[in-house]
Amino acid sequence: MSSPATLRPLLEGVHRVPEITSDGLQWTVRTPQHARLAVEMVLAWAATEQRMPGRLRPCANDECRLFLLDRSRANRARWCSMAVCGNREKARRHYERTR
């Protein structure tokens, strides 16, 4: 995982503006069009980190590009999905044991 500082260029030109809507005042994030998706991901990541610190991490399967959000009490989840990556790891270990 690279340092959060590498995300900084993505946040250039992003600002939050107050808008009056029929529901009252609302804060809207204004993002340069080309960076919208990346910025949304950064903001979602930051919000998750704030709400559940240390719970968001990459899947332990090196070939997997997914992340997992660990909601367990022990905070030891390693796989994005036990059914997919967890099982693959179990099968791999089994294969190595029985070789």
- The residues of the shown chain that bind Zn ion, judged by CB under 5 A, are 59, 61, 64, 66, 80, 85
Nearer to Zn ion, 64 or 77 (CB): 64
Residue among 57, 53, 83 nearest 68 (CA)? 57
Question: Minimum Å distance from CB 84 to Zn ion?
Answer: 6
CA dihedral of residues 38, 40, 58, 79 (deg, nearest 10) = -130
Contact of 26 with 18, CB cutoff 8 Å: yes
Query: Smaller CB distance to Zn ion: residue 12 or 62?
Result: 62
Q: Which is nearer to Zn ion, 39 or 85 (CB)?
A: 85
